[in-house]
Structure 1
Amino acid sequence: MSSARWTAGDVPDQHGRVAVVTGANTGLGFETAAVLAARGATVVLAVRDVGRGEAAAARMGGDVSVQRLDLSSLGSVREAAQALRAAHPRLDLLVNNAGVMYTPRETTQDGFERQFGTNHLGHFTLTGLLLDALLPVPGSRVVTVSSLAHRFRAAIRFEDLQWERSYSRAGAYGQSKLANLLFTYELQRRLAARGAATIAVAAHPGVSNTELVRNSPAPVRAAMERFGSLLAQPAAAGALPTLRAATDPAVLGGQYFGPGGPGESRGLPRPVVSSPQSHDLAVQQRLWAVSEELTGVRFPV
């Protein structure tokens, strides 16, 4: 397998593996789940809209089912985790893919700023509640999808995590995507300390043409509608870093995958380097503690 030319054709046989992919009814999640299913995995599409999820499953074929999951509601996350554990006591792969981007100032059902609450706290909760099903499984992985935006106007605003004093759509999105990386690295540190078979890995899609741009500023939306094929790569290409993180046998815990082209905006997937602040151990540990407090979830590592 050429590390420089890794494509969907390099995804190994997935028969016998059980994968949960959040936000898999469209975009990056759909493309990720479709390849996993085509390679033989048992795939669960964890989605907010069950109807759209069932339509997506029908398009994929294979051993694919749908589980309702609203990451903006901790109650929904708990219900979904309970159902998933009952149906699949053994999990090989959890892909934390779903997300919202550049939303207006809104709160989740639990009162969290929507981007932080959905993109980070929802997935933190889901991972914590499913981890016991992953830990005994050799080769199991938690893959969390971050973004180039973790570098831009991004910081963990511990003094105002929910953006109650002022609000920036881009800043809040950057915070949530930085949190995805901080979470991945701290989870990997804890898994390694335990000697667990499970690893935590991160990925980002570069600049990909998906529905996430619907809340972007009007000029950005207009440019994407007119020049989308020039500015961004298709969702199938954007899913490749996630697929490599999820399936390449050579992947190590704590790695981060993104497109290998200029500026990591497009291209075939390779290991990439995240921002210095994403590797700040004190911030990783503080965010973890705050996340446990906000969600009430304690990890078994």
Structure 2
Amino acid sequence: MGTRLDDNISSAADRTIVITGGNSGIGRAAASMLAGMDARVVLAVRDLGKGRAAAESMRGIVDVQRLDLADLDSVKAFAENFTDPIDILINNAGIMVPPLGRTADGFELQFGTNHLGHFALTNLLLGQIRDRVVTVSSIGHRSGTIDFDDLNWERKPYKPMAAYGQSKLANLLFTSELQRRFSDASSSVIATAAHPGLAATNLYKREGSRVLASVTEAVIGLISQNEQQGALPTLCAATADIPGNSYVGPRRLKETTGQPTLVDRSDEAKDAEVARRLWKVSEELTGVEFPL
């Protein structure tokens, strides 16, 4: 059990923080907390109406910009239009276990949204980022495997949870390889990652049968923490004085609940060669390369 980090959350005053998917769930909770700390928060969201409604509920300076991570044209348009310096980029948005679907560019929906969209966004914005990149993964990464022969589930039968695990594992491999590249470039920017544990968010309510959704929601409601608690690891990864490639999650009950601390990751998530290979493949798929 690691040392609690919640007392190590630093001030975000006067900092510009871009957070994807900040209109709901732990993203909204994190954005609200950061705005309350006098940061300038930019909600990068697919639905402008929902984003503006979320912004109106937050105290502080909150901007709303359109970003659809499932469409690389939208990602590139966001990067072209947002030219301000960015202190912290939080890659928070994600989808979980939907039916088989494809992004606008033909990628499996979870891999394309959770990983490739954020991969492209981060690299396109790197020249503007001054402090760190935070990517939100999941304890679900432990069930993930990177299948380079079929990343987009075009050959094998689609399994939603396995696809989710692959996308969340990709988030951690992306973080480690990004940090390696920052170090090689002698950059002061760092890459960190976080996961919320088991948080009662709308991710668990979207897909599957109504009966299964009701049962899942009831069970999660009994054992999970709320969105504000689930957002604390993200806040720590974004503001605490921690090394690059740190991974922050809850400290209790196998990382499902509790105060944030530095946590371990699966052996697959520590594989530097897989991380390098995934980076190269991601560059090929998105057409976006590391700019430093």
TM-score above 0.5: yes
Task: Say yes or no: does 1:182 pair with 2:177.
Answer: no
Give the Cα–Cα distance (whole angstroms) in 2 for the partners of residues 179 and 57 of structure 1.
Answer: 30
Q: How is 1:252-271 mapped onto 2 (pairs within 5 angstroms)?
A: 252-271=243-262
Question: Normalising by the residue count of structure 2, what TM-score does the alignment of the two structures yield?
Answer: 0.96
Aligned twin of 1:287: 278
Match of 2:82 among 76, 79, 84: 84
Aligned twin of 2:214: 222
Deviation at 1:216, TM superposition (A): 4.6
Question: Normalising by the residue count of structure 1, what TM-score does the alignment of the two structures yield?
Answer: 0.93
Identity among equivalent positions (%) equals: 50
Aligned twin of 2:125: 130
Give the Cα–Cα distance (whole angstroms) in 2 for the partners of residues 13 and 162 of structure 1.
Answer: 40
Give the Cα–Cα distance (whole angstroms) in 2 for the partners of residues 34 and 25 of structure 1.
Answer: 10
Kept in 1: contact 2:200–2:220 (CA 8 A): yes
For the residue of structure 2 that corresponds to 1:127, the secondary structure is: helix
State which drifts further: 220-229 or 232-241.
220-229
Aligned twin of 1:159: 149
Task: Say yes or no: does 1:232 pair with 2:224.
Answer: yes
Aligned residue pairs total 289
Match of 1:34 among 6, 28, 32: 32
Match of 1:204 among 195, 201, 215: 195
Give the Cα–Cα distance (whole angstroms) in 2 for the partners of residues 184 and 78 of structure 1.
Answer: 21
**Bigger RCO of structures 1 and 2 (CA < 8 A, at least 6 apart):** 2
For the residue of structure 2 that corresponds to 1:268, the secondary structure is: strand
Task: Say yes or no: does 1:69 pair with 2:67.
Answer: yes
What RMSD over aligned residues (CA atoms) do the two structures have, in Å?
Answer: 1.4
For the residue of structure 2 that corresponds to 1:167, the secondary structure is: coil
Which structure 1 residue ranges, 5 or more long, are not aligned? none
Give the Cα–Cα distance (whole angstroms) in 2 for the partners of residues 5 and 107 of structure 1.
Answer: 40
Deviation at 1:220, TM superposition (A): 4.6
For the residue of structure 2 that corresponds to 1:20, the secondary structure is: strand
For the residue of structure 1 that corresponds to 2:133, the secondary structure is: strand
Name the structure with the higher strand share. 2
Give the Cα–Cα distance (whole angstroms) in 1 for the partners of residues 36 and 9 of structure 2.
Answer: 10
For the residue of structure 1 that corresponds to 2:264, the secondary structure is: coil
Kept in 2: contact 1:209–1:224 (CA 8 A): no
Which structure 2 residue ranges, 5 or more long, are not aligned? none
Kept in 2: contact 1:224–1:231 (CA 8 A): no
